Amino acid sequence: MSDFALEIENLTRTFGVRKALDGVSFNLKRGAFLSVFGPNGAGKTTLLRVLSTLAAPSRDSSVKVLGYDVVEDAVELREHIGVISHNPLLYPDLTADENLQFFADLYCLENPKERIDELLEAVELTHRRLDVVRGFSRGMVQRLALARTLLPSPELIFLDEPYSGLDPHASDILDSLIAGIREEHTFVMVSHDLEKGLSLCSDALILARGKVVLFEAAENIERDEFSRIFREAVGRGVS
């Protein structure tokens, strides 16, 4: 079993002349927290979609996530990854319990009841388990979304702009939730928020126009230098 959560070599995704990703290569250790930065259209979302098996890379790319090939072993890989996005990915007309039950069935978990109880307890929603999600506050929805993601015990969690649309309070809740599971998981986060992203991460990646501009461990990052590179990348992306 390899030590790397992500082994990406020459990841390219093109359609016609447009290159969403252009020769992206890097490796990420298990247990790391990678923050991906970049201007709009830099390929952040595409990168996340490829890593989470929702989009296929070009043929000459080699992309392994947790040792699984994202194309050939997609179905197996899906059992080991989870996504938290700014969209809750929950059915508003189902109760908290029914939502989790549904996803437990999709992952074919055994003893789903116990697992659901345990998770609802962890995100402090046990008292609302029989309430319809539509009536939940934004923070509660985000907590339930986290429970849904953790349900099949994924090793790798993708965070797709998880803070967008959250008020400061809900954002604090999410912070503490992530901190609580930080130890035993690997994270890949896409974010606009430079401060937040840098404070959480162990490694940082800047993408611009589908290419890696910078890939560096957090402890080697000079704050001012990093902001300068980031601004430059944003400038290039906008032109």
Contact residues for other proteins, defined by CB under 8 A? 1, 15-19, 52-56, 66-68, 75-76, 78-83, 85, 87-94, 98, 102-103, 105-110, 115, 132, 148, 152-153, 209, 239
**Shortest Cβ 98–other proteins spacing (Å):** 6
Q: Which is nearer to other proteins, 225 or 232 (CB)?
A: 232
In the complex, the smallest distance separating the C-beta of residue 122 from other proteins, rounded to whole angstroms, is: 14
By beta-carbon proximity to other proteins, the closer residue of 46 and 191 is 46
CA angle in degrees (0–180, nearest 5) for 50-78-75: 95
In the complex, least distance from residue 70 CB atom to other proteins, rounded to whole angstroms: 13
Strand order in the sheet with 203-208: 81-85, 156-160, 186-190, 33-37, 203-208, 211-217
Query: Is the CB of 143 or the CB of 148 nearer to other proteins?
Result: 148
User: Of 81 and 229, which has the nearer Cβ to other proteins?
Assistant: 81
- Pick between residue 18 and residue 127 the one whose CB is nearest to other proteins: 18
The alpha carbon of 228 is separated from its chain's Cα centroid by a whole number of angstroms, namely 25
Q: How far is the CB of 180 from other proteins (least distance, A)?
A: 16
For residue 123 the two structure tokens come to: 């995100």
Residue pair 164/86 in contact by the 8 Å Cβ criterion: yes
| Residue 130 CB-density burial (10 A; 0-12 exposed, 13-18 middle, 19+ buried) | exposed
Closest contact distance (angstroms) between CB of 83 and other proteins is 6
- What is the separation, in whole angstroms, between the first and last Cα of the chain? 43
